[in-house]
Amino acid sequence: MKLIRYFLFCLASLPLFASAATVDATNPYTMMAIVSQTTFDRLKAEQGKIQANPDYLRTVVKEELLPYINTRYAAYKVLGPQLKKTTKEQRNDFVDAFTDYLVASYAQVLTQYTNQDIKIEPPKAIPADRTIVSVRIDIVDTKRPPIRLDFKLRKNKKTKEWQGFDMVAEGVSMISTKKSEWSGQLRTEGVDVVTQNLITLAAKPIRREASANE
């Protein structure tokens, strides 16, 4: 399960995002292909800087990944039925905290980057009325069987661009997992307590960990 979680929060998240200046987000398949290469190339090129200062990975995540994730939509999905019980200020605070938590989570697992390869599902025709799609990616590692990942993306009706909001590895959804993990506390202690917990978690320093191959 630890291995699945590693790919879910690290490698799985990479293909969802990239620099808006270089990626056409109107096609989720081509977007993911370009973003994957861009992100992995940067990680590979800046390993020296990352090894010296793992916290630098927060910058990489913010610049390469964050622009193409709909953090508000993802955060609202996690809040679930508790969303209706929050004020606008509470919602905004939760989204900000959830975003910082995601940045820290992605940065932490990226310390385990070991130059894995990815195989992206070929482009498919998307019906004009489709607003949610899943794109498959296989994580290829020479020391273990390929791992299948399915990424959920949502189409913005106004801009027609696609944004990632969830990822599924071995049948495990990130959104569903976090919703289940925090639902009890949200219900009994309220969104403000969970928001503060997320702020605390996000503030923890990024530390290099042994890779999955070490």
Q: Which pLDDT tens digit goes with each residue over 79-120?
A: 999 999 999 999 999 999 999 998 998 788 678 666 777 788
Q: Residue 115 in 3-state DSSP? A: coil
Residue 212 lies in a domain: no
Task: Flag the least confident range among 6-20, 45-59, 106-120, 138-152.
Answer: 6-20
Cβ burial 142-178 (10 Å sphere, 16+ → b, else e): eeeeebebbbbbbbeeeeebbbbbbbbbeeebbbebb
Residue 20 domain-assigned (yes or no): no
Residue 101 domain-assigned (yes or no): yes
In the block, tokens 């990815």 appear at 118
The beta-carbon contacts of 189-193 under 8 Å, at least 24 apart in sequence, are 191/79, 191/82, 191/85, 191/86, 191/90, 191/94, 192/90, 192/93
Domain that holds residue 186: 28-203
pLDDT digits (tens, 9 = 90+) for 34-85: 877 787 788 889 989 998 999 999 998 899 888 888 999 999 999 999 999 9
Q: Is residue 5 part of a domain?
A: no
**Count of domains forming the chain:** 1
Q: What CATH number is attached to the domain comprising 56?
A: 3.10.450.710
151 falls within a domain: yes
Q: At what angle do helices 174-189 and 191-202 cross, to 10 degrees?
A: 130
Residue 11 falls within a domain, yes or no?
A: no
CB-based contact 19:41 (threshold 8 Å): no
Average confidence score pLDDT of the chain:
84
Within-domain flag for 41: yes
Higher pLDDT, 79 or 167: 79
Residue 2 within any structural domain of the chain: no
